[in-house]
Chains A and B, each alone.
Chain A
Amino acid sequence: NAGVTQTPKFRVLKTGQSMTLLCAQDMNHEYMYWYRQDPGMGLRLIHYSVGEGTTAKGEVPDGYNVSRLKKQNFLLGLESAAPSQTSVYFCASSRLERTSTDTQYFGPGTRLTVL
């Protein structure tokens, strides 16, 4: 059981380049999330999705776009990368819970460097 997977694991971009990070989960979870982790700041929510075809902004959405065309996949896009987007990106997923919070399970992370 793979759980949550992310591709790529590492990437180096030049300022202004674009890229897409792919997250896939095989747990049939409704909810999916993208976080970024920066030193001394914990994880911050970028965007999330509560189901196929839906997306919503999190705490730090600027400069990112997302899409959830299939239930098992959640894509994070950077249209014009900036050095401030150098970070480690984590994807997570959780079950549908309308009146409580279910546990989020995380992927292994993608380390992105923008030069």
Chain B
Amino acid sequence: AQKVTQAQTEISVVEKEDVTLDCVYETRDTTYYLFWYKQPPSGELVFLIRRNSFDEQNEISGRYSWNFQKSTSSFNFTITASQVVDSAVYFCALSALSGGYNKLIFGAGTRLAVHP
């Protein structure tokens, strides 16, 4: 079975703080894909990153960075120097061969509130 756990339901920080959103996944497949999506208050889902299981390099994009650790089955997302515009619900998702490629399994999401 495949599963994605985002244990943090809500996080509240003050602007300019760094914040890490946790994502733990379960799959028996050796080839799989991990995603992060952002859902701002306006409601749409915005794609942030796609990572395959063979690429364990951490990735940085501006203030965003992702730490992929296969040893702990985690794909954590860090926002550096958070801003009010980062306030949103963030979803981690998994897709793997046994579940069918192109079928995303989503975590329950983490709501991030960044206060001025």
Binding site for B on A (CB under 8 A): 31, 33, 40-45, 48, 50, 58, 88, 90, 92, 94, 97-109
Known: A97-B102, A103-B50, A106-B44. 11 other contacts (CB 8 A): A48-B102, A90-B45, A98-B101, A101-B95, A101-B101, A101-B102, A101-B104, A102-B102, A103-B47, A104-B104, A106-B47
Residues on A with beta carbons closer than 8 Å to the beta carbon of B108? 40-42
Closest B residue by C-beta to A42: B106
Cα distance A65–B102 in the bound complex, in angstroms: 20
Residues on A with beta carbons closer than 8 Å to the beta carbon of B43? 88, 108-109
Residues on B with beta carbons closer than 8 Å to the beta carbon of A42? 4, 91, 106-109
Chain A: minimal CB distance from B97 (Å): 9
Binding site for A on B (CB under 8 A): 4, 9, 31-33, 35, 37, 43-45, 47, 50, 52, 91, 93, 95, 101-104, 106-109
Closest B residue by C-beta to A58: B103
Q: Is the interface of A mostly helix, strand, loop or mixed?
A: loop
Residues on B with beta carbons closer than 8 Å to the beta carbon of A48? 102-103
Residues on B with beta carbons closer than 8 Å to the beta carbon of A94? 102
Cα distance A105–B45 in the bound complex, in angstroms: 8
Cα distance A99–B102 in the bound complex, in angstroms: 10
- Closest 5 interchain pairs by CB? A42-B106, A106-B45, A101-B95, A101-B33, A43-B106
Chain A: minimal CB distance from B88 (Å): 14
Chain A: minimal CB distance from B65 (Å): 19
